[in-house]
C-alpha cells in the first residue's frame, strides 16, 4: 500500500511521462533534490508495487515508464486529497471534490486510547445491562412466585 | 551473418552495455561518434542497422528521450552477450584460414623444389 509520499511521487511521475512510454530523467528531477535512503525506499516501493518499470538506471539518471497499473492507481487516488493540518487529516473526495470520508492519520497511542475507551464503554454497558436484566428477571420471578403461592 | 557496419555498431553497443549488466543508455550521436570514420557510416543508416540487429535478437531497443533529446536504451539478449564469442570465433577462423594458406604455400614451394631437384 502506498503512503502519502508514495502517492505524491506516483502522481508526479505520471505527469512527467506519457502513457507507457519510457523517458530519461536525472534523479534530481524525479525527486526534486538529492537522492537519499528515504527516497530510494519510496522508489523501491513503486517498483515492487509494479507502478513503475525501469529499463536503465545509474547514479545520475534513470530511464523509466509508469505502467498501466501505476496510472490506474494514480487515477483511483486522484480523488484522494491530502490536507496538511496539525492532525494530518486525509480527506477522500468524490468526483466533484465534495468530501465523502475523513480518515484521521492517528498515532498508535491515540488508536489504543480510543480502543480502550470503546472497550470500557462496552464493559460498563454490559454490567449495567446485566444488573437491569437481573432486576427485571428477578422481579418477574418474584411476582410469579408471589401469585403462584397466594 | 552480420554486415561490417552492423558489427561495428554492435561492438560499440556491446562495449557500453557489458559494463552495466547488459543495459546501456546512449545518444545516437554518441553511437555514431564511436564508429570509425573509415567505415563511412551515415546517420540515415543507423536506424535500419539497429532494426536489423533487433530482428537478429541481439538486443532490445527502446527509443526514449531526455529533455527532448533522443536516446536509445539497449538491453542485451542472449545473442548480444554471445557477440564477443562470435567475433573471437570469426577471428580464429580467419587465423586458421591464414595458417592453412601459408602452410599450403610452403608445401607447394617445397614440393616444387623437390620435384625440381628430382628432375634436374
Judged by CB atoms within 8 Å, which residues 12-31 of B form the interface with A?
A: 20, 23-25
B81 and chain A in contact, CB less than 8 A? no
- Containing H/E element for B74? strand B69-76
A56 and chain B in contact, CB less than 8 A? yes
Three-state DSSP class for residue B65: strand
Cβ separation A22–B23 shorter than 8 A? no
B48 and chain A in contact, CB less than 8 A? no
CB-CB contact of B58 with B83 (8 Å): yes
Provide φ and ψ at B87, rounded to 5°.
-65, -45
CA–CA gap between residue A128 and residue A121 (Å, rounded) = 11
Q: Among A76-80, A89-93, B4-8, B115-119, which stretch is predicted with the lowest mean pLDDT?
A: A89-93
Question: What is the ipTM metric for this complex?
Answer: 0.70
* Strand ranges across the sheet with A89-93: A80-82, A89-93, A99-104
Q: Which residues of chain A lie closer than 8 angstroms to B65, CB-CB?
A: 23-24
Total CB pairs under 8 A between chain A and B = 33
CA–CA gap between residue A87 and residue A85 (Å, rounded) = 5
Residue A102 pLDDT > 50: yes
CB-CB contact of A46 with A6 (8 Å): yes
A118 and chain B in contact, CB less than 8 A? no
Cell numbers at B71, concatenated: 536516446
Q: Please say whether the dihedral angle defined by the alpha carbons of residues B13, B16, B21 and B24, taken in this order, is positive or negative.
A: negative
Q: What is the pLDDT along chain B (120 residues), one digit of tens a residue?
A: 788 899 999 999 999 999 999 999 999 999 999 998 888 888 889 999 999 999 999 999 999 999 999 999 999 999 999 998 888 888 899 999 999 999 999 999 999 999 999 987
Q: Which residues of chain B lie closer than 8 angstroms to A61, CB-CB?
A: 25, 66
Amino acid at each position: 500500500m502506498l503512503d502519502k509520499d508514495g502517492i505524491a511521487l506516483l502522481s508526479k511521475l505520471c505527469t512527467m511521462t506519457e502513457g507507457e512510454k519510457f523517458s530519461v530523467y536525472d534523479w534530481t528531477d524525479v525527486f526534486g533534490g538529492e537522492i537519499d535512503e528515504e527516497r530510494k525506499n519510496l522508489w523501491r516501493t513503486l517498483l515492487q508495487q509494479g507502478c513503475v518499470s525501469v529499463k536503465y538506471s545509474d547514479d545520475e539518471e534513470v530511464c523509466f515508464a509508469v505502467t498501466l497499473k501505476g496510472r490506474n492507481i494514480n487515477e483511483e487516488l486522484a480523488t484522494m486529497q491530502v490536507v496538511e493540518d496539525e492532525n494530518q487529516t486525509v480527506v477522500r473526495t468524490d468526483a466533484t471534490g465534495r468530501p465523502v470520508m475523513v480518515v484521521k492519520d492517528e498515532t498508535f497511542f491515540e488508536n489504543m486510547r480510543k480502543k480502550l475507551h470503546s472497550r470500557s464503554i462496552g464493559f460498563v454497558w454490559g454490567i449495567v445491562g446485566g444488573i437491569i436484566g437481573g432486576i427485571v428477571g428477578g422481579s418477574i420471578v418474584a411476582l410469579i412466585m408471589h401469585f403462584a403461592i397466594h | 551473418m552480420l554486415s561490417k557496419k552492423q558489427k561495428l555498431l554492435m561492438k560499440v553497443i556491446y562495449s557500453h552495455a557489458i559494463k552495466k549488466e547488459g543495459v546501456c543508455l546512449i545518444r545516437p550521436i554518441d553511437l555514431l561518434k564511436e564508429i570509425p570514420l573509415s567505415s563511412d557510416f551515415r546517420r540515415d543508416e543507423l536506424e535500419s542497422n539497429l532494426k536489423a540487429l533487433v530482428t537478429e535478437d541481439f538486443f532490445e531497443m527502446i527509443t526514449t528521450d531526455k529533455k527532448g533529446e533522443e536516446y536509445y536504451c539497449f538491453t542485451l539478449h542472449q545473442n548480444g552477450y554471445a557477440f564477443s564469442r562470435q567475433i573471437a570465433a570469426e577471428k580464429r577462423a580467419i587465423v586458421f584460414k591464414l595458417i592453412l594458406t601459408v602452410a599450403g604455400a610452403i608445401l607447394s614451394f617445397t614440393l616444387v623444389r623437390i620435384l625440381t631437384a628430382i628432375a634436374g
